[in-house]
Chains A and B, each alone.
Chain A
Amino acid sequence: MLTDYLPILLLLVFAIGFAAVNLALTHLIGPKKSTQAKLSVYESGVQPVGDTRQRISIRFGLIAMLFIIFDIEVVFLYPWAIVFKKFTENSGYFILIEMLVFIGILFLGYIYAWKKGGLSWD
């Protein structure tokens, strides 16, 4: 079983090596003629104004939280989807009703989030 994952490990090592070689090569080969202008913040050629670390819109945080809620739903649905066929053949519609209730509850939450304006961006 675990040997199935051996090629993945080899591929990972290969990929990391490729990325490292790329970073090293471009560092070694490229010219090094840096000037003060090159090393400053790029803001379309004008003098940089203010600091980058500023407050950002709360919407981004809201989206992240909504994502976590729904992503957990997705995680629960995966094992359910895999055993669904086997269960309906053996023990009827129980598994279907169960998941309809689960999706139903989450759908109510979805409607609530929509009504409260959590999904709109303006």
Chain B
Amino acid sequence: MDLPLNVLIISSLIKIVVVVHILLIGVMGMILAERKVSGWIQDRHGPNRVGPWGILQPIADGIKFLLKEDLVPDHVDKPVYLLAPAIILVPALVTCGVVPFGSSITVSGYEIPLQIADINIGVLYILAITSLGVYGVVLGAWASNNKYSLLGGLRSSAQMISYELTLGLSLIGVLILSSSLSLREIAIQQGSYPWTWNFLIHFPAFLAFTTAAFAETNRLPFDLAEAEQELVGGYHTEYSSMKFAMYFMAEYMHMIVGSAVAVTLFFGGWQFFGLETVGGPFWSGLISVGIFFVKTAFFLFVFIWVRWTLPRFRYDQLMNLGWKFLLPITLASIVVTATVWAFTQSKVLVGILNVVVACIVVAIVSTTLVMTREPEPVEDRGILSFTKESSS
């Protein structure tokens, strides 16, 4: 398993270049897919002028971003303003470093794992690095010295830290049963068949994780940070040219990496009905990469699908969902997973009880919310209230 240092460095460099380029191409693909799928959902064409079926559209977009004027307004805090896009883009790129995108591939006698770095604290690394993304948003918003930017940044930071709790807590159930923080280890332990994957054992935690992932990427229905109708562009209002594109790229990269992490932790990673072991030590590696990409692509489609299905939340609804529903659900899921496992050691029972308890928690919370809701103030309407007031 241990590779010599020179092989390690060369293989990692190749993997880094390939993965980063796949990520960038993935961003381009997502920009096109988003507009094509939106068109399909809304019964229109989407981009179809640049190249056949509009497939060159993202390249045209990229060139245009690069050729636009690099504007630095007078009123901004210059060093922070210039650094903020880099601060959000670098963590987005670096997170992909621990995601295993395939089993392993054997080249000239060396078995090279298809993962940039298999470190034993993978899950912690992902959580730590993704939470750095909030700095890019807050610093960019603050440095822009614009009211829309500041409001967008404030909303976004409060939203991201609220849902980060859910993101962290929802993974603990998975960790209890896998006893490892290495993403590769967690993926392998789930086995090849869908009924042994983690999303069935930890279904409420999986839903909470997906919801939190939507919130962390500032996607609809959680896009209050850049709600166009209220805040123009949100935290990137004052950014132009490639600096704006860097915010854009970071958002799409977060989506892609988030989907990849969800696939690894809850959907068995690169495994699918034993298909990943077909072929020799070389081809099986490539097939596993293919399976992983298909699963990730499905998640990315869900991201777009949800965007055109759900309307935007109001801010108090957003906070209620995060603090009053998702937090107790994930806490309950941890307690249930630990208790049931300690007494019965049965994954089936853990799965069933997780869902049952999550339903009970939702019932309790919604009852409490309905019971404690203050009655709407009765509006003074028309002539009745007028006469009442004048008579007194």
Mark contacts of A1-26 with chain B using CB atoms, 8 A cut-off: 1 yes-contact digit, 0 otherwise: 00111111011101110111011011
- Cα of A43 to Cα of B119 in the assembled complex, Å: 47
A15 and B93 contacting across the interface, CB-CB below 8 Å: yes
When distances are taken between beta carbons in the complex, the residues of chain B under 8 Å from A83 are 179
Q: Quick check: is B162 within 8 A (CB to CB) of the other chain?
A: yes
- Cα of A33 to Cα of B316 in the assembled complex, Å: 43
- Given the contacts A25-B242, A52-B147, A4 and B334 also touching, CB distance less than 8 Å: no
B176 and A81 contacting across the interface, CB-CB below 8 Å: yes
Min distance, Cβ A93 to any Cβ of chain B, angstroms? 6
A-to-B contact residues, CB < 8 Å: 3-8, 10-12, 14-16, 18-20, 22-23, 25-27, 29-34, 38-44, 52-53, 56, 59-60, 63-64, 66-67, 70-71, 74, 77-78, 81-86, 88, 93, 96, 99-100, 103, 107, 110, 114, 119-122
B117 and A5 contacting across the interface, CB-CB below 8 Å: yes
Q: Quick check: is B376 within 8 A (CB to CB) of the other chain?
A: no
**Closest residue of A by beta carbon distance from B17:** A14
Jot down 28 A-B pairs with beta carbons below 8 A, ordered by A: A5-B117, A6-B9, A6-B12, A6-B117, A8-B117, A10-B13, A11-B96, A19-B89, A22-B246, A25-B66, A33-B69, A39-B74, A41-B75, A42-B73, A42-B238, A43-B148, A64-B158, A64-B161, A67-B165, A71-B165, A78-B175, A81-B175, A82-B181, A84-B176, A84-B341, A85-B177, A120-B316, A120-B320
Count residues of B near A (Cβ-Cβ below 8 Å). Answer: 80
**Of the candidates B147, B241, B324, B328, which one forms a contact with A43 in the assembled complex, judged by CB atoms under 8 Å apart?**
B147
B70 and A30 contacting across the interface, CB-CB below 8 Å: yes
- Cα of A20 to Cα of B17 in the assembled complex, Å: 17
The prevalent SS among residues of B at the interface is helix
Q: Quick check: is B278 within 8 A (CB to CB) of the other chain?
A: no
- Given the contacts A4-B118, A18-B93, A71 and B242 also touching, CB distance less than 8 Å: no
A23 and B85 contacting across the interface, CB-CB below 8 Å: yes
Q: Quick check: is B124 within 8 A (CB to CB) of the other chain?
A: yes
Q: Quick check: is B255 within 8 A (CB to CB) of the other chain?
A: no
Q: Quick check: is B41 within 8 A (CB to CB) of the other chain?
A: no
When distances are taken between beta carbons in the complex, the residues of chain A under 8 Å from B150 are 52, 56
Min distance, Cβ B144 to any Cβ of chain A, angstroms? 8
Q: Quick check: is B56 within 8 A (CB to CB) of the other chain?
A: no
When distances are taken between beta carbons in the complex, the residues of chain A under 8 Å from B176 are 81, 84-85
When distances are taken between beta carbons in the complex, the residues of chain B under 8 Å from A25 are 66, 242
B341 and A11 contacting across the interface, CB-CB below 8 Å: no
19 extra interface residue pairs, beta carbon distance < 8 Å, beyond A78-B175, A81-B176: A7-B12, A10-B12, A10-B13, A11-B94, A11-B96, A12-B94, A19-B86, A26-B68, A42-B237, A52-B145, A63-B162, A64-B161, A67-B165, A71-B164, A77-B172, A85-B177, A93-B342, A110-B328, A121-B320
**Of the candidates B157, B172, B319, which one forms a contact with A119 in the assembled complex, judged by CB atoms under 8 Å apart?**
B319
- Cα of A84 to Cα of B237 in the assembled complex, Å: 47
- Cα of A116 to Cα of B113 in the assembled complex, Å: 52
A12 and B238 contacting across the interface, CB-CB below 8 Å: no
B9 and A14 contacting across the interface, CB-CB below 8 Å: no
How many residue pairs between the two chains, A and B, have CB atoms under 8 Å in the bound complex?
206
- Cα of A6 to Cα of B80 in the assembled complex, Å: 29
Q: Which among A26, A59, A74, A103 has the highest number of chain B CB atoms within 10 Å?
A: A26
- Cα of A50 to Cα of B161 in the assembled complex, Å: 29
Interface of chain B residues 8 through 24 with chain A (CB within 8 A): 8-9, 12-13, 15-17, 20
B164 and A30 contacting across the interface, CB-CB below 8 Å: no
**Closest residue of A by beta carbon distance from B9:** A6
- Cα of A96 to Cα of B30 in the assembled complex, Å: 44
Min distance, Cβ A13 to any Cβ of chain B, angstroms? 9
Min distance, Cβ B180 to any Cβ of chain A, angstroms? 7
Min distance, Cβ A4 to any Cβ of chain B, angstroms? 5
Mark contacts of B317-352 with chain A using CB atoms, 8 A cut-off: 1 yes-contact digit, 0 otherwise: 001100110011001001100110110000000000
- Given the contacts A23-B86, A67-B165, A114-B324, A40 and B73 also touching, CB distance less than 8 Å: yes
When distances are taken between beta carbons in the complex, the residues of chain B under 8 Å from A119 are 319-320, 323-324
**Of the candidates B17, B169, B320, which one forms a contact with A77 in the assembled complex, judged by CB atoms under 8 Å apart?**
B169
When distances are taken between beta carbons in the complex, the residues of chain B under 8 Å from A96 are 338-339, 342
- Cα of A16 to Cα of B79 in the assembled complex, Å: 16
**Closest residue of A by beta carbon distance from B174:** A81
When distances are taken between beta carbons in the complex, the residues of chain B under 8 Å from A19 are 85-86, 89-90, 93, 246
Min distance, Cβ B391 to any Cβ of chain A, angstroms? 34
Q: Quick check: is B65 within 8 A (CB to CB) of the other chain?
A: yes
When distances are taken between beta carbons in the complex, the residues of chain A under 8 Å from B331 are 103, 107
- Cα of A111 to Cα of B335 in the assembled complex, Å: 17
